[in-house]
């Protein structure tokens, strides 16, 4: 029998709603916070969020609210299911209602442009010092649409304090939603953020009409870029062979559920970036993360040709097909150099 908790779910989009369903299935009380009054009213009257997850009925344990105070004040655990760019706006609004020790969980995937901070680092700056070691990340190959249908899904949780990660593991795990732990907080966050970049590229390749060969190349060489940068930032390279690395990369690069893939697909078909963002109507983290990853590659002196090609397409106006031709015309290299250099870096520094 699970120890029943009170959970504040901050963000009533598709992911926050799907995770609320998981928690409700486990018998936890969930206060699902969102700004859209019509949306929240529907959650409370019909137990549905048709804007983001049409046709899905939420458990009775899930209650919507537009009040941060109502969501947070009695919560044992606060889950942040909001975009990276909203973290510094929303967290300060929450602080007046945090009267006791809380565990914070973030379920977003991104890097903050400018500061180049991971989400847990942003949170450390914004929340009380006494709670900074109680930050947990939940990440992995997990489309909200499939989670809400209770299809088998596996994710990973990580924290600087593994007892906090295990608490969150127990909170979410059930027979549809399997949760692993991993002590590599940096690797879990970097993998989740960088895979969105490769997913945009995969969408572009599909939009250009390329086949499976190109997508396989993007996934494998994209994984090499993720591991190169992540390792330089202090991650364990083995993390990128797990759920938050290759696992998340596969699901995001191959599924129409992925908003990053869909955005890339439109770009590949010739749509302008502004038009893509307008039609998507949702945050495309991969686009924002591309700028941050480009800056990180320069900061750490890491070669990231796929990421830098996407940067040129998005922000320098380079034609997508020309960017692909440039990638294919790069000088000869040894594929195993990546693996050797990544492993060597674990012992040299």
Query: What residues form the annotated binding site for NAD(+)?
Result: 11-16, 144, 259
Question: What distances in angstroms separate CA 316 from CA 101, 155, 303, 312, 324, one per listed residue?
Answer: 46, 35, 19, 5, 15
CA 217 to chain centre: 22
Residue 139 contacts residue 248 (beta carbons within 8 Å): yes
Known binding residues: 11-16, 35, 52, 109, 140, 142, 144, 195, 248, 258-260, 283, 285
Q: Residue 188 — φ and ψ, nearest 5°?
A: -60, -45
Residue 300 contacts residue 233 (beta carbons within 8 Å): yes
85 is catalytic: no
Residue 286 contacts residue 263 (beta carbons within 8 Å): yes
From the list 129, 305, 143, the residue with the least C-alpha distance to 225 is: 305
What angle, rounded to 10 degrees, do the helices at 185-207 and 320-328 form?
110
Residue 243 contacts residue 140 (beta carbons within 8 Å): yes
Residue 39 contacts residue 15 (beta carbons within 8 Å): no
Sheet holding 103-106, edge to edge: 62-65, 29-33, 6-10, 77-80, 103-106, 135-139, 153-159, 177-181
Residue 323 contacts residue 313 (beta carbons within 8 Å): yes
Q: Measured between alpha carbons, how far is 80 from 19 in angstroms, rounded to an integer? A: 11
Known binding residues for NADPH: 14-15, 35, 52, 109, 144, 259, 283, 285
Q: Annotated catalytic residue: which of 5, 195, 215, 291?
A: 195
Burial group, residue 244, by CB count within 10 angstroms (0-12, 13-18, 19+) = buried
Q: Measured between alpha carbons, how far is 98 from 249 in angstroms, rounded to an integer? A: 36
Active site residues: 195
């Amino acid at each position: 029998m699970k120890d029943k908790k009170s959970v504040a779910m901050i963000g009533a989009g598709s992911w926050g709603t799907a995770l609320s369903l998981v928690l409700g299935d486990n018998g936890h009380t969930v206060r699902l916070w969102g700004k859209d009054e019509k949306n929240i009213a529907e959650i409370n009257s019909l137990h549905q969020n048709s804007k983001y997850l049409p046709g899905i009925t939420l458990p009775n344990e899930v209650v919507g609210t537009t009040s941060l105070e109502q969501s947070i004040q009695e919560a044992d655990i606060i889950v942040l299911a909001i975009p990276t760019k909203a973290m510094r706006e929303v967290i300060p609004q929450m602080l007046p209602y945090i009267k006791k020790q809380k565990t914070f969980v973030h379920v977003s995937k991104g890097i903050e442009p400018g500061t180049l901070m991971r989400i847990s680092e942003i949170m450390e700056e914004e929340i009380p010092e006494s709670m900074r070691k109680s930050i947990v990340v939940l990440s992995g190959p997990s489309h909200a649409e499939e989670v809400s249908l209770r299809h088998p899904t596996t994710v990973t949780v990580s924290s600087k304090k593994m007892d906090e990660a295990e608490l969150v593991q127990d909170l979410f795990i059930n027979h549809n939603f399997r949760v692993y732990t991993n002590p590599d907080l940096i690797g879990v966050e970097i993998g989740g953020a960088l895979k969105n970049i490769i997913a945009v590229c995969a969408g572009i390749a599909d939009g250009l009409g390329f086949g499976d060969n190109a997508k396989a190349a993007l996934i494998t060489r994209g994984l090499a870029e993720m591991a190169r940068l992540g390792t330089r930032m202090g991650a364990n390279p083995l993390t990128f062979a797990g759920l938050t690395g290759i696992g998340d990369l596969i699901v995001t690069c191959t599924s129409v559920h992925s908003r990053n893939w869909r955005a890339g697909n439109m770009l590949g078909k010739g749509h302008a970036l502004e038009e893509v963002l307008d039609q998507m109507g949702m945050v495309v983290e991969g686009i924002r993360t591309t700028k941050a990853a480009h800056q990180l590659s320069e900061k750490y002196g890491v070669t990231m040709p796929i990421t830098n090609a996407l940067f040129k397409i998005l922000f320098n106006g380079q034609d997508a097909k020309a960017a692909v031709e440039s990638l294919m015309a790069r000088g000869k290299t040894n594929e195993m150099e990546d693996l050797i250099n990544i492993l060597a870096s674990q012992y040299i520094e």
